[in-house]
Structure 1
Amino acid sequence: MMVPNITSTGTGGGIPGQRGKSAYEVAVDNGFDGSVVEWLASLEGHDGASAYAVAVAEGFDGSQAEWIESLKGEAGVGLTNRGAFVLGSSYSPSDYVFAPGNSSPTSMFICQASGPFVASVAPAADPDRWVEFSAPAGADGSDGKSVELRKTSTAIQWRQVPDGNWADLVLLADLEGTDGKSVELQKTSTAIQWRQTGGVFADLVTLADITGTSGRDGIDGAQYVVSTMSTVTLPSAVTAIRAGGYYTPGDGGAALYKVVASQPAHGGKFQTADSRWWELQASGEVWAQQFGAKPEAGFNNSPAINAATDFLVSKDGGYIKYGPGVYELGAEVTLKSRVVHSGVGRRVTWLRRKDGYLGDLLKTQDFDTLWTGDSANGPNRFGIEHMTIHGRKDQNPTSTGWNIRIYGRAYHIRDVDSEYCCNGGYYSRWGSVAAAWDNDTTDSAGECFIDEFFVQFSRQWPIFDGPHDSQIGRMLVSMSRHFMDALQGSSTFEIGPRASGSQFAQLHCWGDSPEWCLTQYAQAISISDLILDDARAGTGLTGGGLLKMLGSDCFIQGRGVQWGNDNIKGIQLGQPGTATAQRNRITMLLTSVPAVAIDFSDDGGNDIDLTVTAYSSTLNWTGTRHATTTFKYAERGSGAGANDIFSKFGALQVTRQSLRIEPRSSTPTDTWEDGLLYYDSSLKKLRLYNNGVWVNLG
């Protein structure tokens, strides 16, 4: 872009140019060996006349001495450095200032007004009085950084903004005319040029030599921020800019934006004063700060996070990254398909309830309309990882919002704390076993994946009710209903019926306030390395214990611990009128003496293997054991062995000391065949079937 010439003819307080040398002095410097007269005599025109004679012929009116004196130039005049531009200040011709430019955040402007004036507008808006002197923006995709210029006592210097080192662009001595003439500067599309007044312009330095290191894309707008771009007008040739922040440079909101034809239908955008729309450029990953989030006390980050979510949804998904700090939520953050919320780590990145907010913190899209049904259209392939979610239940006693509520599938939770929950801390559900979710063309995975998930200090209790066939590892659920009264039917953790087929490993449920430590409804699940730690049975409660087993076809292996003196159960199989537990394999080590090691409440036939690490004076079970249940029971401690049952199959009980046949009040219903033996409780006799008849023995 051509600009008006920049001529050093000002009369301000700058450094004046030195008096120019005479033509004779220049000749001596170039090797002439003789007097002035000899030199003048040596000057001849094309026809052999002396230079003085030629001058007279061309109209010079004066003596030879006067002609010689006329050959000397006037002293050059320098530029005056006025520093940063100040609106309302007085400026004079050849002053120069530094101010926001049209093509860079900071440019050098040189005054070319005809006389002194008071500045009422910025230099960029007053091209009649000021000429901008800056490096231009390059083509989209390869622009250099902006360039700043200044004049010292010896040179004009340049640097990349905002923190480059100053370097000499050209020495002031090199800009003096050889005959004392003043110097003019101009900028072309490729170079800054100079000439002596009346001479021919020549390159002083090419623009390529003073552009900054190649930027990744767009112009480097390190000093521009998204929140104020509506007041900025950028040159029409600029179609991409890398903003330096969202609110302030360096606040984590830096991002590349490009001009688009119309307003984008998401939050990754801004509009400049020239009405152009600019869209955030990102591929698979954005930062919450790029949409206005900030870890600042009392600030509601929910709108910014939801804007980031909608942006990624429009781009087919990706990760929202969070830096260290506490991001308060004053409204619901919606979890949507293919969007993962990823922090730096537990207790490093926090999403925390803003005081006074009563609702849920993180909740899947359309949860309120989906969670009661069997829809297969819930969100999928989303995630939460590497953060702590804090409900602040003590500071918000009227809030009933959950930390996390999910109706969805194929999601993951990894390295997450959910604590001080105003409700249960974590709720997950997917369709029941009748839902048609398994379709290879639309759903490649129905399960979720959970690893290193800690749910602590919930006001109620967390529930995992699907999706089915999930993988849950290293999960700790602790202190549900802590410091609260025991509640009928409450649990530290609940596994719901829609979780069928799931696999749990290293599940630890801990806390003494609920009636049950773990209530398990699901079918065909596996729980290995299970630890159940404390429960409560109190006034008004029908029971209470470590494991209420209401599902069937499951494998459970682990340990139960009860350190208190509450009159609790170890395991309850089924619940009359509600669920019959059957075909389960349960192996448990029970530490301390529960009131009842196992309660066969509604036993439909299971394989039970229990070891209790203390002695009891009576057999430690209640209820009616199903005829097909296999039961191994051993006590450890003082007097151990007296009540051990090595195995119990139907009517036959084999103990350490005896063989026992369960009494029956009538003949067995099995097919009668020779050798069949039973004990008749009415006759008080053993009876043997032999040769087609029952024979009483003794």
Structure 2
Amino acid sequence: MVMQPSLIIGGSGGGNGAPGKSAYEIAVLNGFDGTEQEWLASLQGEDGEPGPKGDAGDPGPQGFKGDKGDKGDAGTGLTNRGAFVLGTTYDPSDYVFATGTAAASSMFISQAAAPFVSVAQPKDDLTHWVEFSAPAGADGEDGTDGTDGTDGKSVELRKTGSAVQWRQTGGAWADLFPLIEITGPQGPAGDTGQQGPKGNPGDQGAKGDTGQTGPAGRDGIDGANYYVTGMASVSLPSTVTAIRVGGYYAPGDGGAALYKKVGTQPSHAGKFQSGDGAWWELCSDGTVAAAQFGAKPAVAYDNAAALNNATTYLVTKFGGCVLAYGSGEYFIGAEVTLKSHVTHRGVGIRQTIISRLDGYLGDMLKTLDFDTLDAGDTAGGPNRFGIEYLTINGKKDVAANASATGWCLRIYGRAYTLRDIDIEYCCAGGWYSRWGSTSAAWDNDNTDSTMEALIDGLRVQFSKGTPTFDGPHDSQLSRIVIAMSRHNQAALSGSSTFVIGARAGGSQFSGVHCWGNSPEWCVTNYATGISLMDLVLDDAAAGGGLLKQIGSECLIVGRGLQYGTDNIQGVQIGQTGYTTQGNKITLVLTATPSVVVAWAIDSGNDLDITVNAPTATANFSGNRHANSTLKYTERGAGAGANDYLSVFGALVVNKQTIKLIPHSGTPNDVTWEEGLMYYDSSTHKLRVFTGSVWVDQS
């Protein structure tokens, strides 16, 4: 509302007189000497005693444009927060625009004494809001008729510290409109008055204090102060279809998520029901946080249900990743089931730790239907799942777990990924993987994959049993460390630090380091057609050895360490019940084992063995097959007669001599050909085959 600077005062006086004069004209007639603007300015004089009430007069015609009024006092500032947003924090100085009680849009002014979070529309929350509407002006009193027949209606105006006031001459002053409507902090230009032209913009008011800015909602109501377990007592307006809560147990606990309203209760655990009976379903882009299902790194808290619920939710959404477990130790007191197309990802080894809850005796992480599938030989089972960037701790050294037999990780499946994982202190063998021996159908995406499993950066240590990889076949494994299996336990007959099973055929291993002195063997391999490159074999129990090679057609290149005084073997070829052939094995041994190669059941293999200490004998046992080749080198400390450079069965080459190994009777392991030579220990003569007979050399 804007003051009307020019008024016509006078009128017909209720009779037939001429049109009345303006207030200014009457002032001139009464002796005022000055312009109309000077007269208007004189109206803002000091308050005096009320004059006598004038006679009522009719309104006159429109007056002349008045001069610009004085600058108003600075009013109390209000902060325009724009359109109202449910769930936002508002301050006492705020005003918003929302649906009014009788209008499509109305202005609401906060009348709260302190900041508050809005939980209802302003028109329904009159405790915090007041709806603004401009009040209608009061009717003016009629003036008395003048003696000359003119209308005696006259008006006086003045400005106070809070309003522009008016009165009938001689009457009581009343507010015409508050100054805040024309003056305020950075107030906009005033609206055009009903009768007068638009006034000049007023001077800029004093700047008010900056008000608080509430957080902006992202995908629905931004319920930063809401949390899932508390929503049962919260009723939301029916117009709300999405809400982003600030946590699961409390705001900021990592369980923040967006939920959408759904018509029926979801079949998974990614949901809650609000106090008004509505169901809300978790929204996901294919990734969820474990905390969104109630997981938390708290002592003695069982997270198994939360992790299983997160997995099941993603299965219903066609797969995804349970990620951002966060740093800390997540205990589980029941089996966590691994399912197809779901990956569990932490934030780093020894940062995210999944630990056995004291007293839980079973397996920790295991694939769906493992017990049934492992007993058979199927190409089925879970696929395309994974575990990444975390530690699994079996807690075998805790007294409450002394009778536990559960593994840290057991898998029957394929096409899975393990990346940067520590498995430690397992109550069984730590890590077990298996799949069917039958090849997948090459043209079936449900079973076929370029490489069956991809394992990179796996560490398994301090297990009670033996870690085992028994498939899937055609897998890739790199950066594998398996250490201290059966640590501080007696060596079991035939036990190994690491076993590669027969179903692992065709797999590629690189950078594998196995060490520990409790099992009889460092590595036992049953698989066919694998490659083991940069293999490090590090110690075994006395009477055992470094590598027991039972599978066939394998390429193995590596080195053996730390067994110089342990009375252990280097390599054993074959075992009862297995035909071992076609292997190419190259090993550098840092000391001379008690037996370099034990030819248990040799059906033709190629070995290249180097040792780094002198011996008096070749240190072989068993029978080498006629089709086998052996390159054997011993590096001694000096140029002694027994510093062997190479041994090829019947031939020994050292630094000073070439020696034919004595043989009693003519050779029977090769076809006799012209030029064949051997030293006969019974005749003490060198014999040469001429093509038809053996001839003694004198």
Q: TM-score, normalised by structure 1?
A: 0.71
Specify the SS of the correspondent of 2:224: strand
1:104 aligns with 2:104: no
State the shift of 1:234 in Å: 0.7
1:463 aligns with 2:468: yes
Q: Kindly indicate whether the alpha-carbon contact (under 8 Å) linking 1:135 and 1:211 is maintained by their aligned counterparts in 2.
A: no
* 1:539-618 correspondence to structure 2 within 5 Å: 543-563=543-563, 565-575=565-575, 577-618=576-617
The equivalent residue for 1:347 is: 350
Deviates more, 1:672-681 or 1:450-459: 672-681
State the shift of 1:480 in Å: 0.7
In structure 1, distance between residues paired with 2:39 and 2:420: 80
The equivalent residue for 1:620 is: 619
Specify the SS of the correspondent of 1:245: coil
Q: Kindly indicate whether the alpha-carbon contact (under 8 Å) linking 1:653 and 1:661 is maintained by their aligned counterparts in 2.
A: yes
1:363 aligns with 2:366: yes
Select 1:224's aligned residue among 223, 226, 239: 226
The equivalent residue for 1:323 is: 326
The equivalent residue for 1:653 is: 651
State the shift of 1:469 in Å: 1.3
Specify the SS of the correspondent of 2:540: coil
Specify the SS of the correspondent of 1:532: strand
Deviations 1:254-304 (A, max 9, x none): 000001122212111111222221111111211000000011001100100
Distance 1:181 1:219, change over 3 A: farther
Deviations 1:155-205 (A, max 9, x none): x988999xxxxxxx99xx99979645999xxxxxxxxxxxxxxxxxxxxxx
In structure 1, distance between residues paired with 2:269 and 2:385: 20
Task: Please tell me the residue identity of whatever aligns with 1:245.
Answer: G
Distance 1:380 1:648, change over 3 A: same
In structure 1, distance between residues paired with 2:279 and 2:628: 72
Distance 1:644 1:494, change over 3 A: same
In structure 2, distance between residues paired with 1:634 and 1:617: 13
Specify the SS of the correspondent of 2:586: strand
The equivalent residue for 1:420 is: 425
Specify the SS of the correspondent of 2:326: coil
Specify the SS of the correspondent of 1:363: strand
In structure 2, distance between residues paired with 1:303 and 1:136: 44
In structure 1, distance between residues paired with 2:241 and 2:533: 59
State the shift of 1:659 in Å: 4.7
Q: Kindly indicate whether the alpha-carbon contact (under 8 Å) linking 1:630 and 1:647 is maintained by their aligned counterparts in 2.
A: no
Q: Kindly indicate whether the alpha-carbon contact (under 8 Å) linking 2:88 and 2:215 is maintained by their aligned counterparts in 1.
A: no
1:33 aligns with 2:32: no
State the shift of 1:570 in Å: 1.2
Q: Kindly indicate whether the alpha-carbon contact (under 8 Å) linking 1:618 and 1:643 is maintained by their aligned counterparts in 2.
A: no
Specify the SS of the correspondent of 1:633: strand
Distance 1:438 1:135, change over 3 A: farther
1:481 aligns with 2:482: no
Select 1:494's aligned residue among 496, 499, 502: 499
In structure 1, distance between residues paired with 2:373 and 2:44: 106
The equivalent residue for 1:630 is: 629
Deviates more, 1:458-467 or 1:30-39: 30-39
Gaps of 5+ in 1: 1-26, 49-77, 79-100, 110-131, 138-146, 162-168, 184-208, 538-542
Deviations 1:192-227 (A, max 9, x none): xxxxxxxxxxxxxxxxx9995642201001111111
Gaps of 5+ in 2: 1-36, 62-75, 77-83, 100-107, 120-130, 133-159, 166-173, 179-210
The equivalent residue for 1:431 is: 436
The equivalent residue for 2:410 is: 405
Distance 1:682 1:284, change over 3 A: same
The equivalent residue for 2:313 is: 311
Distance 1:473 1:409, change over 3 A: same
In structure 2, distance between residues paired with 1:32 and 1:471: 99
State the shift of 1:454 in Å: 0.7
The equivalent residue for 1:144 is: none
Task: Please tell me the residue identity of whatever aligns with 1:642.
Answer: N
In structure 2, distance between residues paired with 1:177 and 1:308: 67
State the shift of 1:565 in Å: 3.3
Specify the SS of the correspondent of 1:331: coil
In structure 1, distance between residues paired with 2:52 and 2:607: 124
The equivalent residue for 1:663 is: 663
The equivalent residue for 2:531 is: 526
Q: Larger C-alpha radius of gyration, 1 or 2?
A: 2
The equivalent residue for 1:96 is: none
In structure 1, distance between residues paired with 2:306 and 2:291: 8
In structure 1, distance between residues paired with 2:161 and 2:549: 93
State the shift of 1:33 in Å: 2.5
The equivalent residue for 1:506 is: 511
* 1:60-139 correspondence to structure 2 within 5 Å: 103-104=86-87
Deviations 1:388-423 (A, max 9, x none): 111100111111000000011111111111001010
In structure 2, distance between residues paired with 1:558 and 1:296: 44
Deviates more, 1:548-557 or 1:174-183: 174-183
In structure 2, distance between residues paired with 1:471 and 1:300: 34
| Greater per-residue strand proportion | 1
Question: What number of residue pairs does the alignment pair up?
Answer: 547
Q: Kindly indicate whether the alpha-carbon contact (under 8 Å) linking 1:285 and 1:318 is maintained by their aligned counterparts in 2.
A: yes
Q: Kindly indicate whether the alpha-carbon contact (under 8 Å) linking 1:447 and 1:470 is maintained by their aligned counterparts in 2.
A: yes
Deviations 1:236-256 (A, max 9, x none): 000000011000000000000
State the shift of 1:670 in Å: 6.0
Q: Kindly indicate whether the alpha-carbon contact (under 8 Å) linking 2:90 and 2:212 is maintained by their aligned counterparts in 1.
A: no
State the shift of 1:614 in Å: 1.5
Q: Kindly indicate whether the alpha-carbon contact (under 8 Å) linking 1:391 and 1:403 is maintained by their aligned counterparts in 2.
A: yes
Distance 1:533 1:28, change over 3 A: farther
Task: Please tell me the residue identity of whatever aligns with 1:392.
Answer: K
In structure 1, distance between residues paired with 2:57 and 2:430: 102
Deviations 1:659-678 (A, max 9, x none): 52673746758666554556
In structure 1, distance between residues paired with 2:263 and 2:326: 32
Distance 1:151 1:488, change over 3 A: same
In structure 2, distance between residues paired with 1:176 and 1:423: 87
The equivalent residue for 1:338 is: 341
State the shift of 1:441 in Å: 3.7
Task: Please tell me the residue identity of whatever aligns with 2:508.
Answer: Q
In structure 2, distance between residues paired with 1:457 and 1:523: 28
Task: Please tell me the residue identity of whatever aligns with 1:338.
Answer: H
Task: Please tell me the residue identity of whatever aligns with 2:292.
Answer: Q
State the shift of 1:151 in Å: 5.0
Task: Please tell me the residue identity of whatever aligns with 1:256.
Answer: L
Q: Kindly indicate whether the alpha-carbon contact (under 8 Å) linking 2:485 and 2:516 is maintained by their aligned counterparts in 1.
A: yes
Distance 1:159 1:222, change over 3 A: closer
Q: Kindly indicate whether the alpha-carbon contact (under 8 Å) linking 2:88 and 2:117 is maintained by their aligned counterparts in 1.
A: no
Specify the SS of the correspondent of 1:286: strand
State the shift of 1:516 in Å: 0.8
In structure 2, distance between residues paired with 1:237 and 1:30: 55
State the shift of 1:581 in Å: 2.3
Specify the SS of the correspondent of 1:663: coil
Distance 1:389 1:623, change over 3 A: same
Task: Please tell me the residue identity of whatever aligns with 2:388.
Answer: E
Specify the SS of the correspondent of 1:310: helix
Distance 1:532 1:235, change over 3 A: same
In structure 1, distance between residues paired with 2:335 and 2:383: 18
In structure 1, distance between residues paired with 2:647 and 2:44: 132
In structure 1, distance between residues paired with 2:689 and 2:410: 62
In structure 2, distance between residues paired with 1:225 and 1:403: 33
In structure 1, distance between residues paired with 2:495 and 2:326: 37
Specify the SS of the correspondent of 1:415: strand
Task: Please tell me the residue identity of whatever aligns with 1:46.
Answer: P
Deviations 1:451-496 (A, max 9, x none): 1111010011100111111111111111111111111111111111
State the shift of 1:638 in Å: 3.3
The equivalent residue for 1:62 is: none
